[in-house]
Amino acid sequence: MQKLFSFKNGIILVAVLAFYAVIQFTISQDIMPPFVTLNLMLICVYVIMAVSLNLINGFTGQFSIGHAGFMSVGAFMSAIITAKLAPKIIPYIPLHDPKPVLLLLGLIFGALVAGIAGFLIGLPTLRLRGDYLAIATLGFGEIVRIVFLNSDYLGSAAGLTLPRIATWPWFFFVTVISVALIHNFVRSTHGRACISVRENEIAAEAMGVNTTRYKVLAFSIGAFFAGAAGALYANYMYIIQPSTFGFLKSFDILVMVVLGGMGSITGSVVGAVVMTSISALLADYPQWRLVITAILLVAMMLFRPKGLLGNKEFSLNFLGRKDGRNGDA
Amino acid sequence: MQVFIQQVINGLSVGSIYALIALGYTMVYGIVKLINFAHGDVLMVGAYVGFFATTNLGMSFLPALILSMVVCALLGVLIERIAYKPLRSHPRITALITAIGVSLFLEYGGMLVVGPQIQTYPSVFPDTIYNLGGVTFKIGDIAMISTAVILMVLLQFIVHYTKTGKAMRAVSFDYQAAMLMGINVNNTISATFAIGSALAAAAGVLIGVYYNSIDPLMGIIPGLKAFVAAVLGGIGIIPGAMVGGLFLGIVESFVSWAGYSTWRDAVAFAILIIVLIVKPAGLFGKNIREKV
């Protein structure tokens, strides 16, 4: 049993807060170029997307390629709160500045609806294996896109305009909380059950693991966080369109997960940071970006199918085993 | 009644294209158990080869079609040798991810080579509209359906009456046993990719002729829909792909006719999900028990 307030957790907390403070300071002092700020926000969104997809693909061993569909659900559902219903909700918020409450409501609503969508889609389709599941999730992503495309309430193809109310603290802390929650989930009894499904579904079932339940659970949690990421994204980008969340976006996220290593949360974070930075650097050559992504993906599969980190995690164990011994005592 | 027949004819035209593409998916899946995501993009390459053959080399429809089929057959073999063959012993997901990579590479590599703009396909058939008892059709419709039918008959002949076809059936039935029987599995798999890609190329040229426009991302949607068709008929089963393709084409044409053309793609995917849930083995598939 690890202690919550251990030496290692302390170091992590300090590092996280220090990183946050430095960025927040540079943004508030206008030192940070807007382009870099934008990409920092995007990195946060993609870290959430990649880590939540990794829960489904890497840890539970399912294969979803419709993850952007859940992002889309989260984005549009939060937009209903923060853009469409905002005038009706704001009078009920007894605060001087109603924006944070509005964003929080949008975030929760977007994530919840995405999670429910994940549950509803996962329940029937997770009986399918491997490539069939992949295609079913791809189909789901496309259906979501077409439904939003045909919805006049949500602005159809032109999309919705939103206020920019998500700021760096929101992005940063939602990301940190998401990663921490998924990390802890993977380490819990339920997480172990998910991993056992990945390792050998039949054996897991024989040992009494309710495989369907855990597959649906992982899928819904993944969808929930993808919805949260979509909500953040929507409330920063001023405008969202159904075509933004096509399967190309799903593939982008898949590349991050694969690049970082299926089954490594650190890997997904690294993958998201690397891929977002690459696309930011290649922003002037958009046509090259996807070619490079594609070559990376194929080369990675041919030469290092486990991804950069395989299923290793970053840890502070190199600081000495003293901490561990204290934990045991 | 006339409207009904008209929709069936439209559906058959589009459906025969889906069927041609679906055949490639199904053959490749049957033999290496891989969803070849790059298949739709091979189609795009085929359409562009046909485009350059007709506009720059001044070829007529048939030579252009054959040229594009040959080029794509080579491309298919190349893709298989470079990207899929080294991964045959890996988990299937690895190859699937590679296929996605190859697909992205062809799409955006293609965009670098030919530019992202839409090209207008030269009209190789006269635009005359024939009217038969209220049902209208163009020469293009007939050419499309007949090309598709000829190619499917040819495929049936290859699969059932040639040595390569026999080897293909053997490998898809049991990879290991086929190898032990002295069948050159590598060459057989290459042949499968070659035939499948050639069919996709033919479909690409036909799409170009039918819709008059091509662009580097044109292969994605037909590719996905053809996959739906393949799953519908039972993936790995050749007659299933043909029936699935035609069925999907007809359903789509009726959905458009009913005024829901913007929902057309969603219907295809909804069919896919329903089929996967209700009868994952497809219309023609047999249920296979899972062995531990």
pLDDT of residue B290: 59
Q: Any chain A CB within 8 A of the CB of B273?
A: yes
- Mean pLDDT across the stretch B239-248? 90
pLDDT of residue A324: 41
pLDDT of residue A78: 93
Q: Any chain A CB within 8 A of the CB of B83?
A: yes
pLDDT of residue B287: 65
- Higher-pLDDT residue of B172, B131: B172
Q: Which of B96, B104, B116 sits opposite A294 (nearest CB)?
A: B104
Task: For residue B8, give every residue at least 6 positions away whose Cβ sits within 8 Å of its Cβ, in sequence order, or none.
Answer: B250, B253
Q: What is the DSSP letter of A159?
A: -
The DSSP code sequence of A205-258 is HHTT--HHHHHHHHHHHHHHHHHHHHHHHHTTSSEE-GGGGSHHHHHHHHHHHH
Distance separating alpha carbons of residues A56 and A62, to the nearest angstrom: 6
Residue type, B89: S
Distance separating alpha carbons of residues A218 and A203, to the nearest angstrom: 19
- Mean pLDDT across the stretch B173-186? 89
A107 three-state secondary structure: helix
pLDDT above 90 as % of chain A: 36
Q: Any chain B CB within 8 A of the CB of A128?
A: yes
Nearest Cα of chain A lies from the Cα of B188 at a distance, in angstroms, of: 22
Q: Where are the beta strands (DSSP E) in chain B?
A: 119-120, 129-132, 135-138, 213-214
- Judged against a pLDDT cut of 70, whether residue B162 lies above it is answered with yes
Q: Give me B129's structure tokens.
A: 């509209």
pLDDT of residue A179: 94
- Higher-pLDDT residue of B173, A95: B173
- Mind listing the pLDDT tens digit for each residue in A83-98? 888 788 777 777 778 8
Q: How far is CA A24 from CA A124, A168, A171, A229, A231, in A?
A: 44, 7, 11, 20, 21
Q: What is the DSSP letter of A82?
A: I
Q: Which of B87, B262, B277 sits opposite A149 (nearest CB)?
A: B262
Poorest-pLDDT segment among A156-170, B14-28, B192-206? A156-170
pLDDT of residue B67: 94
The answer to whether A214 touches A60, Cβ cutoff 8 Å, is: yes
**Is ipTM over 0.90?**
no
Q: Which of B100, B276, B292 sits opposite A136 (nearest CB)?
A: B276
- Collect all residues of chain B within an 8 Å Cβ-Cβ radius of residue A297: 97-98, 100-101, 104
Task: For residue B1, give every residue at least 6 positions away whose Cβ sits within 8 Å of its Cβ, in sequence order, or none.
Answer: none
Task: For residue B32, give every residue at least 6 positions away whose Cβ sits within 8 Å of its Cβ, in sequence order, or none.
Answer: B84, B88, B95, B189, B192
- Output the average pLDDT for chain B: 87
Residue type, A222: G
- Higher-pLDDT residue of A156, A115: A115
pLDDT of residue A50: 95
Q: Kindly indicate the confidence band of residue A283, based on its pLDDT and cuts at 50, 70 and 90.
A: confident
- Higher-pLDDT residue of A31, A53: A53
The answer to whether A61 touches A257, Cβ cutoff 8 Å, is: no
Contact between A135 and B272 using a beta-carbon 8 Å cutoff = yes
- Judged against a pLDDT cut of 80, whether residue B132 lies above it is answered with no
Contact between A65 and B270 using a beta-carbon 8 Å cutoff = no
- Collect all residues of chain A within an 8 Å Cβ-Cβ radius of residue B96: 63, 130-131, 134
- Mean pLDDT across the stretch A164-179? 91
pLDDT of residue A292: 85
Residue type, B100: I
Residues 234-263 of A with CB under 8 A from B: 251, 254, 258
- Judged against a pLDDT cut of 90, whether residue A118 lies above it is answered with yes
Q: Tell me the whole-structure pTM to 2 decimals.
A: 0.86
Q: Which of A258, A287, A294 sits opposite B105 (nearest CB)?
A: A294
pLDDT above 70 as % of chain A: 94
What domains sit in chain A, N to C, each tagged with a CATH number? 7-328 (1.10.3470)
The answer to whether B223 touches B39, Cβ cutoff 8 Å, is: yes
Q: Kindly indicate the confidence band of residue B262, based on its pLDDT and cuts at 50, 70 and 90.
A: confident
- Higher-pLDDT residue of A312, A105: A105
- Mean pLDDT across the stretch B170-190? 90
Instruction: State which residue of chain B sits closest to A57, comparing Cα positions.
Output: B93
pLDDT of residue A299: 87
- In chain B, where the domains are located: 17-220
- Mean pLDDT across the stretch A15-44? 88
Q: Any chain A CB within 8 A of the CB of B115?
A: no
- Judged against a pLDDT cut of 70, whether residue A322 lies above it is answered with no
pLDDT of residue A63: 87
Q: Any chain A CB within 8 A of the CB of B79?
A: no
Nearest Cα of chain B lies from the Cα of A74 at a distance, in angstroms, of: 20
